[in-house]
Structure 1
């Protein structure tokens, strides 16, 4: 098997050679080839080797080299886990909140092998409700009903606790133990500051030291032992992290105290008290570890809030639905619904799946998905989405998309993936973190040496305590959490506002956009055109005959303009016939064979391709319609123009406001449309656009994006059709209108559920807020360590006589990560409208 990995730390061809040799000498590796330019290694192995195993092998080349999953391998790994986790609807998949290994996930809880932090459980994409009997709990079914034993109504089984809750409870239990045993140690140690210490009237200092030792054992070897395990693992794999520093600092204090208690004679007088006992630091070690545990406890609680948006979205999906079969109603599990089923939605109920109303009408509250608070009026043939809430009337709907195909499930999946993606700005934090721990250890050593040489007596004690303070206060986790926490909360905020972000990189790019390219139909306009008039231009072709050919030809088209003509024909009871050899000519129109004649409907470009001449009178009439912003499609039969259809597509009420706000933000708004020059100019002038181009084919839109990018512009493209897909893919950021085609949505990095230009304003505002939040977090983390480490080293002592206790350093370190998460959580309350 072959896998591709990312290698960091290489600077020259010599580095590449060393890394390649180290990998090839690793047990289990058949062949390894390293590419310096791509910073990648292609490794062939007889069986799968873990990242830890490969990192151990690469250490032979040097400590600065790191191996990570490549983006491609991370995606494969994710897909494999997604497929295997479908049985439990996404539960049981764990990832590192700092994304140390990209998108890599794990099958069980634990701690990250790189940074040592507790793995976080990925929220379920969909939830399955299990029903059980209150009297016979062994009875379990995935849909409501009655118990086969006693006949009682089955009730929903209580959901198992999430891994986050279990982790929090486990940490809470250990924290309680730590506090119970640490508090007496702290009291004993601090009592030494009292005049005529009353404790010494009970026992001498020597015995109180032994009591401190005994009390410290449950704290060190039970409540916080995991920190030392993580520290050992980090040193063994050379993935140095926060726990490396904690393990060295707190471990050194406890081990020093242990040997000072057992072998006081081997220590110099500098380390001894007036009573002849060695100065012990059991209280420093246990208090430090307990405070770090408190920080982990608070982090565990805060983590559960960062993906609250996903959990809230999951709650939108109902567990059951009412299915109508032959006029009879039955309550079924949401998982039992199949495409084509007719469902009844009662007042106040949630819509169970995506579908279309077949009988009745309703006001649907779509605010949880689109972010718009005003209920939407729905009638027969209108689409409804899972998770939206019905108003005061019942209606029947036909299921069209179920399970993971529903809009709600796709939103949850997209938010899940985006919240675990890495932003380019995180690379800066990763580079700093890679050198952070070794630098801190070096500063601690320098601190020890300087205090030993130049410090006041007892200099050795000062050196030891200050070195520990340096190790304890430094916190690379705050730096590592700065970006992913903001991304996770920001993506969730976007989802609840109708803005779906595919990945963190798109979120960062959006903040730099200065040019927006938009389509006309379905983007600026409603995308629901209506026929204004149909005219024949030859005696043999009446309005009815022209309508018949146009509607027959368009019955095969998916374009909104085509649907409008078919609807017009049905309303006027005009026959719609069969068309053979139908073909859609992208950006021009449609052609086919009708009644053994070659027919086509489209713009002037299509007519030119088939040598169709347009008389001056007809051309003038068409131009007049177009100058008023109307769209005109011309019909030809056997290369003769026989008629045309005039369609109007109202401009969305929100388009003008959104475009004005974008221009205020310094964004140029350019319209590229396949429509004619006159219509495009009328729309552009009405909205005050920065520019426009008409009669654009897909390749024209693509070339325009490339031209603007060559000029140094940061280009976003918003569109909803297949012809927009190439430009969406090429743009710095592609924005799909959610009302558009699957191809457009798949090609884009941002999807607006409502298909409204105001969503672009929301998306850009969100990106600005998230990037500002990330920069704040990075500033907090960097300034905290920049100020904290020197203070811990004792720079204030010569002037102010101030030293930082290792216990205070531990408290500050614990709250640094919590402060970063708390700052990220502020994004939940920001306004992006």
Structure 2
């Protein structure tokens, strides 16, 4: 049918080449640029249409909203898949028109088909030569070519549509990265900073800041540089970088780090490092240069499709020798693989959407498969197992004062203050229904405490160093108490009235209310649990014992966290790491599965594969339930793909079945696999609708 058309096509091609060759060089360049510009314009418009009208079919509105909030940009890989899927659909139209009305279109159909699959053949031939393994994608390319050569033009084109649609589904389940993490770690520096020039504070653009400059930092500011304090005293929250649960008091000679928060005080800092040279940015460099385990991880459905390729080719070759080309072609179209790579991502998307409705954003669908193999869960402590704001544990009084009076004066002094310690004290006063008056005068002592005048009394609230600075002596029992608290990782806030210490407020790390129950649930699943923290030994050990956690690692630097995760993996463990801070980002990348919480640092949520959107660790147990359902359904889908294909191969050898039987069994297997993959989401939606109706009545 096509042979008589070949000379005509050749003449048209030669004539076009001659016309183009006769053009002047300048005109050729203009024509080429115009063609490229027009093609890019058409492609950009097509990509916009796909993203706006086609992609929403792959997920619920809730999941798309979560992805926009926590995930990121369209990848180049998906843009290419969109383009080739569109070409494959158009090419199928050419094949249908060519078969039914215009045979000459079949030549264009063949050329476009080659254009679409040649890059795939090239990539998979390289894998075959270099890695000595045959991938299903190579098999699919051969199947398309063989069908076309055998005269099954529409079938060959449809197989290509199915393959690229499966690739599109898989791309929708893979992880997005918002941007280079080095940009995230460089923070968003202020437009300007206050620099001390000849004793005068001058606003200078941040970009003009030089090493050796002296900058002025006030309470509430994020430290924009690494440097050394040359004047002042301050309380600094650096838990996002170091993991320390309590604010750190710093003074002249101490180092400050970029991305930490100045809670109270005023500092003059000599600049030592800025921008990408800071310690925080160096973590970003490590992340960007680190090999990401997940980029080498294939979905289970694709791995199994690859494993069926060689047996299917062997069976087809045997059929060619024993029952003829019809049987060989039928086996080639039994297509275990396409059912698997189609139903696998669709099953994954169903459960990704179910997870989204449970407040869980799974950015990388492959993590659902890996979670099924997890045997160890490692938690960051500060901000993950615990809340950032401490809570009042005990109130200790002395020198004849009562505990209620101690809390009353502490709350009076901290009235309208917004730092974590003040919020904890005011919350305790509210719980005890204490009524207190705002202070008459407030004098904030930079760094370590606050001095107020209340009803004619001078009230001082702050650290032991602040009391020493104010010449207020500490009783022996308070000093002993302070040592005991330090061993447990607690902190003491001293309260004094008119130069006499009246007591202390003990601040304890506040556990998330769901943490204890979650640990019990994870233990019931047979999981081993660790704490991994940058905080000191005593508070970390105390939390581990309090929760019944198996083991812990304390005082670990960010790079060290990743090393510990790697060590556990080297011992044969599959590790899930849950963290929220900048200091957790490298460990999140190293873990087999990484989880963060909404409200964590952008770096943590960008690095994690899974985000608990509702900010509750209890969702972690729910996630494991979802994973169990996903894997059960995945096994069922794979069974539906195997059985019809296996029956067809047996039928070819026993009953000499050919292409019609292949098309029927392939359609049955594909329909069963897809129906099973979609069933969980359909069932979930029905239950949701029923719940809404019940609530309405």
TM-score, length-scaled by structure 2: 0.51
Q: Which residue of 2 aligns with 1:822?
A: 675
The answer for the alignment partner of 2:663 in structure 1 is: 810
8 Å CA contact 1:485–1:824 kept in 2: the answer is yes
Determine whether 1:218 maps to 2:100.
yes
CA shift, 1:779, in A, is 5.3
Higher helix share: 2
Label 1:749 to 1:486 Cα distance change in 2 as closer, same or farther (>3 A).
same
- Aligned residue runs from structure 1 range 127-526, under 5 A: 217-218=99-100, 231-233=113-115, 236-237=118-119, 239=121, 240=138, 242=140, 245=143, 248-249=146-147, 252=150, 424-426=297-299, 429=302, 433=306, 436=309, 444=316, 446-451=318-323, 463-474=324-335, 476-519=337-380, 523-524=384-385
CA–CA distance in structure 2, aligned partners of residues 536 and 699 of structure 1: 43
Q: Report how far residue 807 of structure 1 moved.
A: 0.9
Where 1:669 maps in the other structure, the secondary structure is strand
Change (3 A) 1:823 1:86: closer
2:627 aligned partner: 767
Q: Name the CA shift for 1:616/1:88 in 2 (closer, same or farther; >3 Å).
A: farther
Does residue 518 of structure 2 align to residue 658 of structure 1?
yes
Q: For residues 701-712 of structure 1, what are the structure 2 equivalents within 5 Å? A: 705=565, 708-712=568-572
Contact residue 85 and residue 165 of structure 2 kept, 8 A: no
Contact 2:88 2:160 survives alignment (8 Å): no
Asked whether the 8 Å contact 1:635–1:641 carries over to 2, the reply is no
Structure with more contact order per residue of length (Cα contacts < 8 Å, sep ≥ 6): 2
Contact (CA 8 Å) 2:645, 2:665: kept in 1 or not?
no
Q: Aligned in 2, Cα 1:621/1:86: closer, same or farther, shift over 3 Å? A: farther
Indicate conservation of the 8 Å contact 2:407/2:429, yes or no: no
The change in CA–CA distance for 1:581 and 1:688 in structure 2 (over 3 A counts) is: same
| Cα separation, 2, equivalents of 1:434 and 1:469 | 19
User: Are the counterparts in 2 of residues 530 and 648 from structure 1 also a CA contact under 8 Å?
Assistant: yes
Residue 78 of structure 2 is aligned to residue 105 of structure 1: yes
Question: Which secondary structure state, in structure 1, belongs to the residue aligned with residue 150 of structure 2?
Answer: helix
Deviations, residues 264-323 of structure 1 (Å, cap 9, x unaligned): xxxxxxxxxxxxxxxxxxxxx99x79xx9699799989x999989xxxxxxxxxxxxxxx
Flag the 1:742–1:551 CA change in 2: closer, same or farther, 3 A. Answer: farther
Q: Is the 8 A contact 2:442 2:450 kept in 1?
A: no
In the aligned structure 1, how far is the partner of 2:147 from the partner of 2:159?
17
Contact kept, 8 Å, 1:472 with 1:810, in 2: the verdict is yes
Question: C-alpha distance in 2, partners of 1:622/1:440?
Answer: 73
Asked if the contact 2:162–2:338 (Cα under 8 Å) also holds between the matched residues in 1, the reply is no
In structure 1, the partner of 2:222 is: none
Say whether 1:757 aligns with 2:639.
Answer: no
Return closer, same or farther for 1:634/1:752 CA change in 2, 3 Å cut-off. Answer: same
**Post-superposition offset of 1:759:** 1.0
Aligned length: 475
Comparing 221-230 with 475-484, greater Cα deviation is found at 221-230
- Alignment match, 1:213: none
- Alpha-carbon distance, 1:809 to partner: 0.9
Secondary structure at the aligned position of 1:112 is classed as helix
Structure 1: 5+ residue stretches without partners: 1-45, 51-76, 120-166, 179-215, 255-284, 309-420, 452-462, 583-590, 797-801
User: Is the contact made by 1:536 and 1:543 (CA closer than 8 Å) also made in structure 2?
Assistant: no
Task: Establish whether residue 91 from structure 1 lines up as the match of residue 47 from structure 2.
Answer: no
Distance in 2 between the 1:711 and 1:550 partners? 50
Q: CA deviation at 1:810?
A: 0.8
Question: For residues 318 and 304 of structure 2, what CA distance do their matches in structure 1 show?
Answer: 23
Shift of 1:736: 1.7
Distance, in Å, in 2 between the alignment partners of 1:84 and 1:603 is 66
For residue 370 of structure 2, give the secondary structure of its aligned residue in structure 1. Answer: helix
Matches of 1:102 and 1:253 in 2, distance apart? 36
Compute the displacement of 1:478 (Å): 1.9
CA contact 1:92–1:107 (8 Å) conserved in 2:
no
Counterpart-to-counterpart distance in 1, 2:344 and 2:438: 60
Unpaired runs of 5+ residues, structure 2, are 1-31, 59-73, 122-137, 174-293, 453-459, 686-697
In the alignment, is residue 715 of structure 1 matched against residue 575 of structure 2? yes
Over residues 18-74 of structure 1, what are the superposed CA-to-partner deviations in whole Å (9 max), with x where a residue is unaligned? xxxxxxxxxxxxxxxxxxxxxxxxxxxx99xx9xxxxxxxxxxxxxxxxxxxxxxxx
Q: CA deviation at 1:681?
A: 6.5
Cα pair 1:674 1:696 within 8 Å, conserved:
yes
Q: Residues 104 and 789 of structure 1: is their aligned pair in 2 closer, same or farther, counting only changes over 3 Å? A: same
Deviations 1:699-750 (A, max 9, x none): 7766654554454433323344556555545443332232444444334332
Distance 1:241 1:544, change over 3 A: same
Aligned counterparts of 2:571 and 2:300: Cα–Cα separation in 1:
27
Separation in structure 2 between the aligned mates of residue 660 and residue 524 of structure 1, nearest angstrom: 14
Aligned-residue offset at 1:232: 4.3
Within 1, Cα distance between the matches of 2:579 and 2:78?
Answer: 34
Identify if the C-alpha distance between structure 1 residues 440 and 706 changes in structure 2 by more than 3 Å, giving closer, same or farther: closer
Distance verdict in 2 for CA 1:217–1:95, change over 3 Å: same
SS at match of 2:333: helix
- 2:478 — aligned with what? 618
